[in-house]
Amino acid sequence: MVGRGMENLVRSALAAEKPDQEKVLELQRQIEAEYAKCWADTTGTYAGIPELLDGLTERNIGMAILSNKPHS
């Protein structure tokens, strides 16, 4: 269920109900609102990454972030 976007996750979870688009979008908004409250509670960097980023910054090496998450 995970990995194909929030809308597909909601549709898969409610497949037996066959929800209409309005229901899917409403549930998606609710999930995103709850996630926004607590996403940072268990989010962190991998070991060594802060030091790596500091080193890249000190050397003026350009960086970019690629994500499949919605931008806000």
Distance from C-alpha of 72 to C-alpha of 69, rounded to nearest angstrom: 9
User: Measuring CA to CA, how many Å separate 19 from each of 4, 24, 33, 34, 72?
Assistant: 18, 6, 20, 20, 27
pLDDT at 46 > cutoff 80: yes
Residue 29 in contact with residue 6, Cβ under 8 Å?
A: no
What is the per-residue pLDDT across 7-38, written as a single tens digit (0 to 9) for each?
888 888 888 988 899 999 999 999 989 988 99
